[in-house]
Amino acid sequence: MGVPVASPGGSAAGGPADGAADAVGFAELVRLLAGRGVVVLSGAGLSTESGIPDYRGETGSRRRGTPMTYQEFTGGEAARRRYWARSHVGWRAIARAEPNAGHRAVEQLRRSGHVSAVITQNVDGLHRAAGTRTAVELHGGLHRVVCLTCRRTGSRAELDRRLELLNPGFRDGSARANPDGDAELPQELVEGFRIAPCPECGGVLKPDVVFFGESVPKPRVQRCFELVDSAQALVVLGSSLTVMSGLRFVRYAARAGTPVVIVNRGATRGDELAVARIDLPLGEALTEAVRRVRGGAGPA
């Protein structure tokens, strides 16, 4: 599928077809990027082209299994054993994933000053892997673990080596990964899994991500509001804005009169707040946006 070419005053006005709407929206995206100071809010849809499934999906298909809540995780060792067993299998898919054309385009736009900041709802670390070290990871990152007792953070890769030594041959995997690094496993396998405590204090280790039932740390939320405050425009990339933690920034921008553009496969909860909606594959659309922003807006 090609990125539509906007045709000002031309065929874009010819009808309500999606292609025409996308062309108008895409032209608006390029215009806002050219104006600089754009803040990006990204979601799972940006990482699907890296092979990380979006459990809300283009078609609204549901995640396999229910994500563990913070209350379950902290409530007992059986739940934590289940979490880490499944995560030990699912982590490989996350660890092996590489940034795609969409992440690279965002980083190019950041380096050229067209994008001023990136906020991501993703925990896969792929913005950072693409070079966007300043990306604010709203829901944390799977590449870190945190001790719930002494609050020290550590590397997930290091924990992974410890778990592998404690559970040799555990992951031989037909299991399928969820975007939070979780995977489906039979109960008998889970019960035999050995979890690793904090190497410093023996406390409970948790991935440094915000679980369902847990709040995003206030300073991080505040930082995001400040970034949105300073934005010339807010561009949502690959999020259906299902959860309030992301949707609130879209509402906040819209209330302040800051234009919001949403690039996503399928409808989102923020659609009525957006000045433009683009339903296109992200890698292709963003690569084309970079080309047009750099080369000028193209022929009139």
Q: Which residue ranges make up the site for Zn ion (CB under 5 A)? A: 147, 149-150, 198, 200-201, 203
Q: What is the 3-state secondary structure (H, E, C) of 241-290?
A: CCCHHHHHHHHHHHHCCCCEEEECCCCCCCHHHCCEEECCCHHHHHHHHH
Asked if 167 and 193 touch (Cβ cutoff 8 Å), the reply is yes
Helix (H) / strand (E) element for 27: namely: helix 18-34
Least distance from Zn ion to the Cβ atom of residue 206, Å: 11
Instruction: Kindly tell me which of 201 and 267 has the beta carbon lying closer to Zn ion.
Output: 201
Least distance from Zn ion to the Cβ atom of residue 192, Å: 25
Tokens of 51: 């092979």
Instruction: Kindly tell me which of 78 and 150 has the beta carbon lying closer to Zn ion.
Output: 150
- From residue 229, how far is each of 23, 37, 175, 223, 225 by CA, in Å? 28, 11, 42, 10, 6
Instruction: Kindly tell me which of 73 and 249 has the beta carbon lying closer to Zn ion.
Output: 73
Residue 118's identity, in one-letter code, is V
Least distance from Zn ion to the Cβ atom of residue 147, Å: 3
Instruction: Kindly tell me which of 134 and 153 has the beta carbon lying closer to Zn ion.
Output: 153
Residue 157's contacts (CB-CB under 8 Å, 6 or more residues apart) are 95, 143
Find how far residue 110's CA is from the centre of its chain. Answer: 17
Instruction: Kindly tell me which of 49 and 160 has the beta carbon lying closer to Zn ion.
Output: 160
Tell me the DSSP string of 157-172. Answer: HHHHHHHHHHSTT---
Which three-class secondary structure state does DSSP give residue 299? coil
Asked if 142 and 123 touch (Cβ cutoff 8 Å), the reply is yes
Least distance from Zn ion to the Cβ atom of residue 151, Å: 7
Catalytic residue (one of 88, 103, 114, 139): 139
Instruction: Kindly tell me which of 74 and 149 has the beta carbon lying closer to Zn ion.
Output: 149
Least distance from Zn ion to the Cβ atom of residue 203, Å: 4
Tell me the DSSP string of 74-134. Answer: HH-HHHHHHHHHHHHHHHHHHHH----HHHHHHHHHHHTTSEEEEEE---S-HHHHTT-TT
Whether 143 is catalytic is no
Residues identified as active-site: 139
